[in-house]
Amino acid sequence: MGVQENVQKPLDRLAEALSPEMEAVNALIRQRMSSEHAPRIPEVTAHLIEAGGKRLRPMLTLAAAKMLGYAGPYHVHLAATVEFIHTATLLHDDVVDESRQRRGRPTANLLWDNKSSVLVGDYLFARSFQLMVEPGNLRTLEILSNAAATIAEGEVLQLTAAQDLRTDEGVYLTVVRGKTAALFSAATEVGGVIAGAPADQVRALFDYGDALGIAFQIVDDLLDYGGATETIGKNVGDDFRERKLTLPVIKAVARATPEERAFWSRTIEQGDQRDGDLDRALSLLSRHGAMEAARADALRWSATARTALANLPPHPIRDMLSDLADFVVSRVA
């Protein structure tokens, strides 16, 4: 990110470069989150969608399309599709995780109830499919419906894998590609497809989104065990308390002594957690260099994302996407 103090963050620069398109996306989102019959739908959706999320995923679609010369209008529909899929998964995730806070506000399942979150999430999924049909492009339909299946599969896999010490880095990667990277890579890929880009450029966009999403999730998992100076809207150790086996722990388990393995088994597999266990976990992560190793992985994925961009034509937006790949890991760099 360089040494300049006044440099705009890459996401803000992207938002500026894509400002008219993002306004169109936001208008479309507001229009499609309405419901003729059920006022609870826009209430619940607005609570989440207007909570100041970064709109990172729809911006990726707009960026990819614009960078490759597409003048519209259907990148707007695809971007809104991506944001609706993301919002639907957040509503369902908060039910599954029994979360009480999201983006610094009470979750919808807490303010209303699980029923509303499940059914409004279903509505947004359906809305996303209506939106993705409108461009009339079968290839983008394939990509987005495949992504939706990969997301759900990753979430189900996480249900069983997250509390099983046999979960290795390969399984972790499958979960992360599902729960996070699949939507990033679909977001960038459909932007290229709707722009009519050649296959190698579409592939480069997929690779960029995939690697960016993986880096993003590893950083999220690292921040959960601290190491961040900024506020991240959640507490250190949430994943530990929720018994989620993330990359740092997987690395520490792989290097654990039998006695340490018993500790992880008790706290993560059996969920028997006592005072001081989080401190013990943090000290094991440190002892085995697990945080540093996970951080190195994140940096490698960030580099992979930047490398993929080399296959795309020079463009100011390409440079912003490159900076974005740096920025995503800057919170742990």
Q: Which residues of this protein are in contact with a copy of itself, per CB under 8 A?
A: 35-41, 89, 92, 95-96, 114-116, 118-120, 122-123, 125-127, 129-130, 133, 136, 138, 141-142, 145-146, 148-149, 151-157, 159-160, 174, 178
CB of 95 or CB of 211, closer to a copy of itself: 95
Length of the chain (residues)? 333
In the complex with a copy of itself, the residue whose CB is nearer, 171 or 249, is 171
Q: What minimum distance in Å lies between the beta carbon of 230 and a copy of itself?
A: 31
CB closer to a copy of itself out of 26 and 89: 89
Residue 240 CB, shortest distance to a copy of itself, in Å, is 19
Contact yes or no for 147/132 (Cβ under 8 A):
no
Q: What token pair was written down for 62? A: 């707009």
The distance of closest approach from Cβ of residue 39 to a copy of itself in the complex, given in angstroms and rounded to an integer, is: 8
Closest distance of CB 174 from a copy of itself, Å? 5
Q: Minimal distance in Å, beta carbon 124 to a copy of itself?
A: 8
- CA distance linking residue 148 with residue 163, whole number of Å: 24
**Least distance from a copy of itself to the Cβ atom of residue 298, Å:** 23
Q: Could you tell me the smallest distance in angstroms from the CB atom of residue 279 to a copy of itself? A: 29
Residue with smaller CB distance to a copy of itself, 242 or 292 = 242
- Residue number, 186 or 256, with CB nearest to a copy of itself: 186
Which CB sits closer to a copy of itself, 92 or 102? 92
Q: Cβ closer to a copy of itself: 118 or 282?
A: 118
